[in-house]
Structure 1
Amino acid sequence: MSTIDAASASPAPTAPPGRRAERQKSPRRFRVRRGLLYLTLCALLVVFILPLVWALSGSFKQRGDIFATPPSLIPSPATLENYRNLLTTQPFWSWFAISIGTAAIATVVSVFVCAMAGYGFAKFRFRGKRILFAVMFSSLSIPFAVILIPLFILVVKSGLANPWFALIVPWVAPAFGIFMMQQFIVQAIPDELLESARIDGSSEFGTFRRVVLPLLRPSLGALGVWSFLQSYNSFMWPLVIISNTSQYTLPLGLNILYASENRSYDLVLAGAVLASIPTILVFILLRRQLLEGLVAGAVKG
């Protein structure tokens, strides 16, 4: 028999027994890890969704049944009296309109301003750029409570204490939004694309509006959700700047119901359920842009 025939007739090398055992165990380990991951996610889902389910259940219960023992998630009997009392005895729709209106305006203005500022920091060179960006970025480490009183004095002395204006001021140009837009523009928009638009005769604002903004849709959606939640859920600033009860936002209005002598938990729960509807709708409408922005930031960042 020749050497070639002997080599072909020899049995194929086999893996050591230890490696074969590891290969057999790896699918089992994968299934165990995946099961633990799903179990952890289910536990976190229960933790996050249980307060909302409890609030929804309590909003249909009578006040004496909310804290009954043993607790029950199914109201028996179910009643709409809580919602009826909230909408008829309290200026809920006024609180709701002010919160939605100011949050929507603040979100639109904030997204546009942050996109423009981020575009300037990312694609333009000017004197003092690094110093200005460092000052802006360092403001992220300053708690809002530190600038609360100076901002209040500045707004009042300027004669701009109108609720519809004062409630929007703190959210017009957040440092987080500017930094987020600057980072996304640096990574996602090449300079060659901007140069080609300028060669075609486009102005700087036209380039920003026609070229930059369409490419920023994922990050704009993520920033829009963040800005809306920041303005909509704000409590400290409206508490300082607003003195008229009829001009309260939803967080302040619900706090009045909670801080009253009767502790109107039934009205608070009904108001909390209604107040959560806009945030859920915003997430549903912008969920695609939000997820795309988060994925883009995770991959490119």
Structure 2
Amino acid sequence: MTTTIATPAARVRRGLLYTTLVALLVVFIAPLVWAISGSFKSRGDIFETPPRLIPGPITAENYANLLGSQPFFAWFGMSVGTALIATVISVFVCALAGYGFAKFRFRGRRVLFTIMFSSLSIPFAVILVPLFILVVKSGLQTPWFSLIVPWVAPAFGIFMMQQFIVQSIPDDIIEAARIDGTTEFGTFWRIVLPLLRPSLGALAVWSFLQTYNSFLWPLVLISDQDQYTLPLGLNILFASENRSYDLVLAGAVLASIPTILVFILLRKQLLEGLTAGAVKG
């Protein structure tokens, strides 16, 4: 058995790598830690100098005031509900469209794909007003419909699925299913979708975050405070005359729970989907 001894240069590089990773971890996690700490402090103690990481005394009054004085559960249900529905529909539609672009040859395929891909360069703010007019003129401005529609067929998701299918699903598998008499949709449902599981998990996380964190579209569309999403509701608290930082921090901590749960549940598929195609063998 041979033992590899790290050279001084390798140790220095490894030390620099670990130091950089730890520094990045601190940068990314510090806001969440500060929010959790501040959510258990009174309003006067949030901005005390020097700041204290551990509240003293610890109080849950912020959470009680938030849940008792604001329609937080309505905001929470609206955000989580629309995000889950939009994610399920988006994942299915993107996988189906990606399969069509990857495995079917039809006239105008390249033109359609180019138009779809080019839409990635168009900011959402550009289509905001036309989309709002279209939704209102169609009489479909109910929140449970209009908050979901813009996210059901994102160009990024279609492109992601198309690339994954091209790289990971051989044409021979599709042809074998067709020879066995499987319908095209049956091939997609029984063969393609199971093979897409890693990329579907990655797309589901991305789609959920896009819908859950959406602010501009709900801001334009919704006027009833009881139908606000969480970003709108927390913005109301922040923009109030009293600047309710205590309630905002408590709401931010509660609002982060669904995103953390989604990552925990789909972390395996997310990592596999992000690394798919990175190593070819």
Give the alignment's TM-score, normalised by structure 1: 0.91
Q: Does the 8 A contact of 2:86 with 2:151 survive in 1?
A: yes
Quote the residue 1:94 is aligned against. 74
Quote the residue 2:129 is aligned against. 149
Quote the residue 1:240 is aligned against. 220
Residue 192 of structure 2 is aligned to residue 212 of structure 1: yes
Look up the equivalent residue of 1:151 and give its one-letter code: L
Quote the residue 1:291 is aligned against. 271
Look up the equivalent residue of 1:241 and give its one-letter code: L
Quote the residue 1:28 is aligned against. 8
What is the alpha-carbon distance in structure 2 between the residues aligned to residue 250 and residue 290 of structure 1?
A: 25
Shift of 1:298: 2.6
Quote the residue 1:46 is aligned against. 26
Quote the residue 2:203 is aligned against. 223
Look up the equivalent residue of 1:179 and give its one-letter code: F
Quote the residue 1:172 is aligned against. 152
Q: Gaps (5+ residues) in structure 2?
A: none
Quote the residue 2:93 is aligned against. 113
What is the alpha-carbon distance in structure 1 between the residues aligned to residue 130 and residue 185 of structure 2?
A: 34
Shift of 1:200: 1.1
Runs of 4+ in 1 over 3 A off after TM superposition: none
The one-character-per-residue Cα deviations of 1:34-88 (angstroms, maximum 9, x if unpaired) are 0000000000000000000000000000000000001001000000000000001
The one-character-per-residue Cα deviations of 1:69-117 (angstroms, maximum 9, x if unpaired) are 0100100000000000000100000000000000000000000000000
What is the alpha-carbon distance in structure 2 between the residues aligned to residue 194 and residue 51 of structure 1?
A: 48
> In angstroms, what is the RMSD of aligned CA positions?
1.1
What is the alpha-carbon distance in structure 2 between the residues aligned to residue 41 and residue 191 of structure 1?
A: 41
Quote the residue 1:16 is aligned against. none
Shift of 1:299: 2.8
Q: Does the 8 A contact of 2:117 with 2:155 survive in 1?
A: yes
**The one of 127, 147, 159 aligned to 2:139:** 159
Look up the equivalent residue of 2:233 and give its one-letter code: G
What is the alpha-carbon distance in structure 2 between the residues aligned to residue 76 and residue 236 of structure 1?
A: 37
Residue 172 of structure 2 is aligned to residue 192 of structure 1: yes
Aligned-pair identity in percent equals 80
Q: Does the 8 A contact of 2:167 with 2:277 survive in 1?
A: no
Equivalent position SS for 2:35: helix
Look up the equivalent residue of 2:247 and give its one-letter code: L
What is the alpha-carbon distance in structure 2 between the residues aligned to residue 105 and residue 297 of structure 1?
A: 29
Q: Gaps (5+ residues) in structure 1?
A: 1-22
What is the alpha-carbon distance in structure 1 between the residues aligned to residue 201 and residue 63 of structure 2?
A: 32
Give the alignment's TM-score, normalised by structure 2: 0.97
Shift of 1:27: 1.1
Look up the equivalent residue of 2:112 and give its one-letter code: L
**The one of 57, 60, 71 aligned to 1:77:** 57
